[in-house]
Amino acid sequence: MKKTVESLKTLSRGFIIAGVIILLLSAYYLVIKAGIPYQDPTPELQLRYTVNSHVGDELLTAGLTALIVGIVGRVVTGIIGKNVK
């Protein structure tokens, strides 16, 4: 049982790290790639902004989901780990 708890702790740490990395990528897409849209953009610039903005939004959702799953998993394994000892 102790080995299983340690494996779940490692897995939850992986989710936390992956969530942070994905959040950093989403910040890159939202701030650097998409940026602030022009006032009267050409259709090409508007398309480019829309694509980068949507990619950033999807990465933000995925990153937050992974981070929350990792934190919840870490809390649960911490509680289980205390009861196993």
Over the chain, what is the mean pLDDT? 91
pTM of the model as a whole: 0.85
User: What three-state secondary structure class fits 51?
Assistant: helix
pLDDT tens digits, one per residue of 8-48:
999 999 999 999 999 999 999 999 988 888 888 899 999 99
6, 71, 78 from 2: Cα distances, Å: 6, 19, 12
The closest of 68, 61, 67, 71 to 29, measured between CA atoms, is 61
Distance CA 32, CA 80 (A): 42
